[in-house]
């Protein structure tokens, strides 16, 4: 900051770390199959790109599908419902949500989303700090590969590694 006062021609960008941000278009991102191969998850912004403080993802899933109720031990999560409607669990509350709804979920709070509508949910979400995106890299299947679900014990170990705690053990 003293350099800026001594030489007003310098900009803040010149004194900032090398990471200058990132723009990711709708069709871009690491694409993965989720929910038995019926859902699509894209990792958009990650620690690998230089974003230490957060990561950003998208997920689309069909009517009747859900993000099971769970909590994160180390990460805050933010969720924006771009399209669709459903029942959002936040702590002990269940709230009907629709397009444009936003939820902030502090670490340690139970949350989940059931698609009760008649169109796919398109959810935009992220975590602070970054790192949780690696959970999806380890549990989901890259688009273009045959969908094979990892065995329960392997999924459980991955969840523990990332501080992901399901309220009810998935089948």
With respect to CATH, is domain 29-166 assigned 3.60.150.10?
A: no
Higher pLDDT, 17 or 44: 44
The rounded distance, in Å, linking the Cα atoms of 139 and 116 is 25
* pLDDT at position 51: 83
Pairing of strands 55-61, 121-128: antiparallel
Q: What would the pLDDT profile of 64-82 be if each residue is shown by its tens digit?
A: 999 999 999 999 999 999 9
> Which of 9-18, 69-78, 157-166 bottoms out in mean pLDDT, i.e. has the lowest?
9-18
| Arithmetic mean of pLDDT over the chain | 89
| pLDDT of 92 higher than 70 | yes
pLDDT at 100 over 90: yes
Asked whether the beta carbons of 111 and 95 are under 8 A apart, the reply is no
pLDDT reported for residue 16: 36
pTM here? 0.85
Residue-wise pLDDT for 114-143, tens only, equals 999 999 999 999 999 999 999 999 999 999
Closest by CA position to 137, among listed 61, 69, 58, 43: 43
Inform me whether the pLDDT recorded for 88 exceeds 90.
Answer: yes
Q: What is the mean pLDDT of residues 81-109?
A: 98
pLDDT at residue 159 tops 50: yes
Phi and psi at residue 113, in whole multiples of 5°? Answer: -145, 125
* pLDDT over threshold 70, residue 35: yes
Pairing of strands 102-105, 39-45: unpaired
CA distance 128 to 79: 12
The domain limits of the chain are 29-166
The pair of structure tokens assigned to 54 is 């957060």
Quick one: what percent of the chain has pLDDT higher than 70? 89
pLDDT at residue 170, as a whole number:
67
Q: Is 122 exposed, middle or buried (0-12, 13-18, 19+ CB in 10 A)?
A: middle
How many degrees, rounded to 5, is the angle at CA 162 between CA 71 and CA 146? 100
Side-by-side strand order, sheet with 55-61: 102-105, 76-83, 121-128, 55-61, 39-45, 30-34, 141-142
């Amino acid at each position: 900051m003293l350099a800026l006062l001594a030489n007003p021609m310098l900009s803040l960008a010149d004194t900032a770390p090398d990471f200058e941000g990132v723009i990711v278009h709708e069709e871009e991102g690491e694409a993965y199959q989720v929910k038995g191969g019926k859902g699509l998850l894209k990792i958009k912004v990650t620690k690998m790109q230089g974003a230490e403080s957060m990561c950003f993802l998208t997920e689309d899933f069909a009517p009747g599908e859900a993000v099971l109720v769970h909590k994160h031990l180390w990460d805050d999560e933010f969720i924006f419902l771009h399209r669709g409607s459903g029942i959002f669990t936040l702590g002990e509350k269940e709230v009907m949500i629709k397009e444009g709804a936003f939820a902030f979920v502090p670490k340690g709070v139970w949350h989940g989303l059931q698609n009760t509508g008649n169109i796919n949910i398109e959810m935009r979400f992220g975590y602070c700090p970054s790192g949780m995106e690696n959970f999806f890299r380890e549990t989901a299947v890259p688009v273009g590969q045959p969908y094979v679900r990892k065995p329960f014990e392997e999924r459980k170990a991955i969840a523990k590694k990332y501080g992901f705690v399901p309220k009810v053990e998935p089948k």
